[in-house]
Structure 1
């Protein structure tokens, strides 16, 4: 409850002044003339002015409201190092206990954890602003930060805070901590497969506030989880290394520096770079044994891909053809067999024999070269026609050593719709082909197939009566495919609705050339938000659990569930920033949560330099909390304008705000009383002047 006197004029103040001026002038004249009633007339005028001002006694029923103090607790991953979690908890408990004994202060605890999708590091002031968004600025008593000092959103000045109250900081950690850190100086985002690319990094180490230089540290570099090289890097100096990407698409390059003395954490001893591998050009050799309707299908498919250099030959005039035409008058180009199959064979990424048959064009020695080419990592596709079942079949050459299907000598004629086999439903070349999900498939018919016996390899497509149509196999380091019908071109012409000819042949060609996305056995992982998704493609019917190593080193096993034939997947939380390593048998993959090289781990040493400017600008203080929270200061309330920090105490502003529940008013000079007083003083003035 509070009392005070207020004035509530019945007319505007300007009107009161204008009306009083003539009276004041008259009184001054009377006083100059020495009129004996002037004092009483002055009193009458004063009473009149006071009555018009309407003095009132006001009584307010007030309720004091507490001031708000925020304790911002840094729970980012850099605060999980060593004893920091325990020290943070101890300091928080001590502050809460002391604030509970301080009258008029309401405490808000604001925990701030790391966000895997945030590249801005530890944002404590943003969290403080959100926590105090519903609090009037004049009720804020101050803010106390419990942190290691690695704060990345400190305002530039006190005005940017949005409130006028002290900011204090309790630093968790030790002065002069030592840590070794890895920084990527320069890393290309793209690189040509099998071509050298430069990667630059620097190893930094700090001891007792001074940079360590001249010493060396062991740095290991791996690509997609496979060790690539080890180098000795001079601490504090730039190190350049050259390495080559092994495949197209994303290549995850990990750079790890060995643990240093008195290391705080290994989390910032690792950096990750993702470089996309680009194939310079894919060179394909297409040899058509004779002109036929499907020949242009292969040519159009390969020419449509801008990354493919196609060399195409069609044999129009075999050596045994004798028609008497002089050689000098022929416009045909001689088939450069020696150049293609002896000198430059290893320069091709894929060789396609389209309805090729033995006609004396290629000596047997060149077929042996093709076998060696495949076993050393090349790719060979045989698109067979009726000649494959004849005595002129390429199976009657050294190619028989690598071809998985042997012709029986028969050719079957009759309409049928190609079907995907059970193995084909799991194989990346044929799995999920458009139209293949229905029974029978929603595709046009073919009318010829070459009968074969499959001794090895995988049959991924077949006829309704189980005759093989497409067989895939591995030979040494290379790959083999056999297409046992020459009617796939009917799909490209739209016969009976056509079929997924372009997609099927594109997948087939890229599988042969070892496109990573078309591997039969593939493990992949990605982080979206705070969820790690693991996917496994396999030709088996089951998949073993995946082993997941988190950035902090914790290891767990995750069971995978089948989502489609040959497809298994699982999702697990990914709340830590950094690199997750997933392995399953011989397969390894890595996935990054948040930025590849989080700002959170750029420097994890405890420091007061980031908080110092804003603390000084607001009149607050900084204390090193210590191992047992002994450094936690006491708490006082201070008035605005007074010191808000001492050696052993921190101050919170006492704003003395309140809520008014009721107001009672009583006028001091009511109308009748004012009239009596005015008339009385005037009567005294007349009486005095009449004597």
Structure 2
């Protein structure tokens, strides 16, 4: 209940004053003339003016509403270090217990966590705004942050808070913490495959702002999980390492520095860079044994790719061709066999023999060079024709050591549609080729096949009656492919709708070049919208679980489910920022959750510096919780204008807000009463003046 007197004028105030002014003048004149009834006439005027102001006794039925205090609990990843999680929980429990003893304060607890897709670090004040979203500003008692002090969204001033109440901070951690961290200075975003690129970085070791000098730390650099370089570098000074990108597309470069003394965490001892590998030029040697309709297909396909540097020779005049034409009248270019197959063979990335047959153009020693070239990591493609089934077959050369299919001497003719084998449905070269969704495939027919026996390798395409059409094989460190028909040019000409010759030959060339995306056994991973997706491609019918190592080092196994022949996939939620490592047998993959080098781990030492300015500006304070949070401050209620922080206590402002449920009003001067009093005063004035 609340009693008070209020005035509710029956007419505007300026009219009341306008009516009162003549009366006041008359009364002053009466007082000047010493009229005996002047006091009673003054009383009558006063009663009239008072009645016009309508004084009312008001009785309000009120309900006090509690003030609201927010506790923001920092549960970011930097708060998971050492004893910080337990000390944070202990500090929260103590503060909640002390707030429970303060009447009239409603407590709201909100947790600030890292968003894996956010590069802005720990957003404590965004969490505070969420807690106060539906609270009137005049009811806010204050805010308490339980944190390591590493806040990255601190307002510039107290006005930016949007409320007038103290902001306090309880810091979890120790004032003398040490930590070693790695920082990228300059990193390549692109690089030519096989060419050197330079990576610059710096390792700092900090303790209360001091930088040690003269010390070194061991650094290891990995590309796609494979160690490629290591060095000892001086602490606090920029360093650089030179390395080479191993393949086209994204190359994940990891830099790890060894653990330092009294290390807080190893999470910031690692930095990640993704550099895109670009092939300078793919050098291809194409040798056509004779002019034929499919020759133009190969040439057009390779010449249309700007990244391919093609060297093409067609043998137009074999040694057995003798027509008596004088040598001086021939305009043909001599085939530079020695230069190509002896001196510069290793400069080519891919060698293609298109309908080539053994004629004596190439000595047997050069075929041996090709075998050595492949076994040492080169790529060889044999696009065969009828000659492959003849006594002049290249299989009757040293190339037999690397060719996976042996000719039977038979040539099959007749129309058929090439089909993808069960093995081919799992192989990256032929899986999901456009047109293979239907049976038979939706592409044009071929009319000739070289009959072979596939002794090794994978048959990925065949005829409807099971004759091999494409065989892929590994030979030593290199790779070999055999196309057992010379009819692919029909697809390029659009015969019966054509076929996916461009996509097929593109995949084939990239598989021969060992592109990671076209490996038969491949493990990859990616993080998107907080979900880690692991993908496995294999030639097997099943695959074991993948082992996932989180940035914190915690591991778990993830079972993969088959989504297509030879393809397996599974996803899990990522709750930590940083680099996830996935392994499955000898295969490894890495994926970064959130930014590659999170701001959250730029400095993980506990500090009061970030929150101190806003605490001072709002009238709050900063305290260190101490071991097991035993130094967590007490809580007091304070009024506006009073200090809100002491040596071992924090204050929350009492705003004394209330809700009014009912209002009862009683006028003091009703019309009849006022009229009676006015007439009485005038009668007394008349009586006094009549004596």
Normalising TM by the smaller chain, what interval? over 0.9
Structure 2 distance, partners of 1:245, 1:477, is 19
Alpha-carbon displacement from aligned partner over 1:124-145 (angstroms, at most 9, x marks no partner): 1001101110000000000000
Alpha-carbon displacement from aligned partner over 1:364-404 (angstroms, at most 9, x marks no partner): 22212211111111111111111111122111222111111
Q: Which residue of structure 2 aligns with residue 47 of structure 1?
A: 47
Q: Which residue of structure 1 aligns with residue 192 of structure 2?
A: 192
Per the TM alignment, residue 330 of structure 1 is displaced from its structure 2 partner at its CA by 2.4
Per the TM alignment, residue 295 of structure 1 is displaced from its structure 2 partner at its CA by 1.4
Per the TM alignment, residue 487 of structure 1 is displaced from its structure 2 partner at its CA by 0.6
Question: Matches of residues 259-658 of structure 1 in structure 2 within 5 Å?
Answer: 259-658=259-658
Structure 1 distance, partners of 2:530, 2:378, is 41
- Matched-pair contact (CA < 8 Å) for 1:470–1:484: yes
Per the TM alignment, residue 363 of structure 1 is displaced from its structure 2 partner at its CA by 2.1
Per the TM alignment, residue 505 of structure 1 is displaced from its structure 2 partner at its CA by 0.9
Number of aligned residues: 691
Per the TM alignment, residue 326 of structure 1 is displaced from its structure 2 partner at its CA by 2.9
Q: Which residue of structure 2 aligns with residue 127 of structure 1?
A: 127
Per the TM alignment, residue 296 of structure 1 is displaced from its structure 2 partner at its CA by 1.5
SS at match of 2:58: strand
Per the TM alignment, residue 629 of structure 1 is displaced from its structure 2 partner at its CA by 2.2
- Matched-pair contact (CA < 8 Å) for 2:172–2:629: no
Per the TM alignment, residue 268 of structure 1 is displaced from its structure 2 partner at its CA by 0.9
Structure 1 distance, partners of 2:78, 2:39, is 82
Q: Which residue of structure 1 aligns with residue 9 of structure 2?
A: 9
Per the TM alignment, residue 467 of structure 1 is displaced from its structure 2 partner at its CA by 0.6
- Matched-pair contact (CA < 8 Å) for 1:173–1:606: yes
Alpha-carbon displacement from aligned partner over 1:156-213 (angstroms, at most 9, x marks no partner): 1001111100000000011110111111111011111111111011111112442222
Q: Which residue of structure 2 aligns with residue 82 of structure 1?
A: 82
- Matched-pair contact (CA < 8 Å) for 2:524–2:534: yes
Per the TM alignment, residue 329 of structure 1 is displaced from its structure 2 partner at its CA by 2.6
Q: Which residue of structure 1 aligns with residue 100 of structure 2?
A: 100
Per the TM alignment, residue 325 of structure 1 is displaced from its structure 2 partner at its CA by 2.8
SS at match of 1:287: strand
SS at match of 1:211: coil
- Matched-pair contact (CA < 8 Å) for 1:222–1:228: yes
Structure 2 distance, partners of 1:411, 1:648, is 96
- Matched-pair contact (CA < 8 Å) for 2:619–2:645: yes
| Structural RMSD (CA) | 1.2
SS at match of 1:628: helix
- Matched-pair contact (CA < 8 Å) for 2:636–2:652: yes
SS at match of 2:628: coil
Per the TM alignment, residue 504 of structure 1 is displaced from its structure 2 partner at its CA by 0.7
Per the TM alignment, residue 689 of structure 1 is displaced from its structure 2 partner at its CA by 2.1
Structure 1 distance, partners of 2:14, 2:311, is 102
Per the TM alignment, residue 228 of structure 1 is displaced from its structure 2 partner at its CA by 1.4
- Matched-pair contact (CA < 8 Å) for 2:289–2:356: yes
SS at match of 1:686: helix
Structure 2 distance, partners of 1:537, 1:557, is 18
Per the TM alignment, residue 41 of structure 1 is displaced from its structure 2 partner at its CA by 1.6
SS at match of 1:357: coil
Structure 2 distance, partners of 1:53, 1:135, is 38
Per the TM alignment, residue 523 of structure 1 is displaced from its structure 2 partner at its CA by 0.5
- Matched-pair contact (CA < 8 Å) for 1:177–1:209: no
Structure 2 distance, partners of 1:144, 1:430, is 61
Structure 1 distance, partners of 2:583, 2:176, is 38
Q: Which residue of structure 2 aligns with residue 19 of structure 1?
A: 19
SS at match of 1:482: strand
Per the TM alignment, residue 529 of structure 1 is displaced from its structure 2 partner at its CA by 2.4
Query: Taking structure 2 as the reference length, what is the TM-score of the superposition?
Result: 0.98
Per the TM alignment, residue 241 of structure 1 is displaced from its structure 2 partner at its CA by 0.8
Per the TM alignment, residue 522 of structure 1 is displaced from its structure 2 partner at its CA by 0.4
Q: Which moved more, 1:617-626 or 1:556-565?
A: 556-565
Q: Which runs of 4+ in 1 moved over 3 A?
A: none
Per the TM alignment, residue 97 of structure 1 is displaced from its structure 2 partner at its CA by 0.6
Per the TM alignment, residue 612 of structure 1 is displaced from its structure 2 partner at its CA by 0.3
Q: Which residue of structure 2 aligns with residue 214 of structure 1?
A: 214
Structure 2 distance, partners of 1:30, 1:344, is 131
Could you list the runs of 5+ residues in structure 1 that have no partner in the other structure? Answer: none
Per the TM alignment, residue 422 of structure 1 is displaced from its structure 2 partner at its CA by 1.1
SS at match of 1:267: coil
Q: Which residue of structure 1 aligns with residue 665 of structure 2?
A: 665
SS at match of 1:688: helix
- Matched-pair contact (CA < 8 Å) for 1:283–1:349: yes
SS at match of 2:180: strand
Structure 2 distance, partners of 1:163, 1:233, is 50
- Matched-pair contact (CA < 8 Å) for 1:176–1:209: no
Structure 2 distance, partners of 1:572, 1:672, is 83
Structure 2 distance, partners of 1:108, 1:138, is 16
SS at match of 2:319: coil
Structure 1 distance, partners of 2:111, 2:401, is 68
Structure 1 distance, partners of 2:208, 2:458, is 64
Alpha-carbon displacement from aligned partner over 1:600-645 (angstroms, at most 9, x marks no partner): 1111111000000000000001111111322111111111111001
Q: Which moved more, 1:5-14 or 1:294-303?
A: 294-303
Per the TM alignment, residue 448 of structure 1 is displaced from its structure 2 partner at its CA by 0.2
Per the TM alignment, residue 318 of structure 1 is displaced from its structure 2 partner at its CA by 2.1
Q: Which moved more, 1:9-18 or 1:233-242?
A: 9-18
Structure 1 distance, partners of 2:31, 2:214, is 98
Structure 2 distance, partners of 1:298, 1:33, is 130
Alpha-carbon displacement from aligned partner over 1:305-331 (angstroms, at most 9, x marks no partner): 221111112222223323333333323
Structure 1 distance, partners of 2:562, 2:394, is 41
Could you list the runs of 5+ residues in structure 2 that have no partner in the other structure? Answer: none
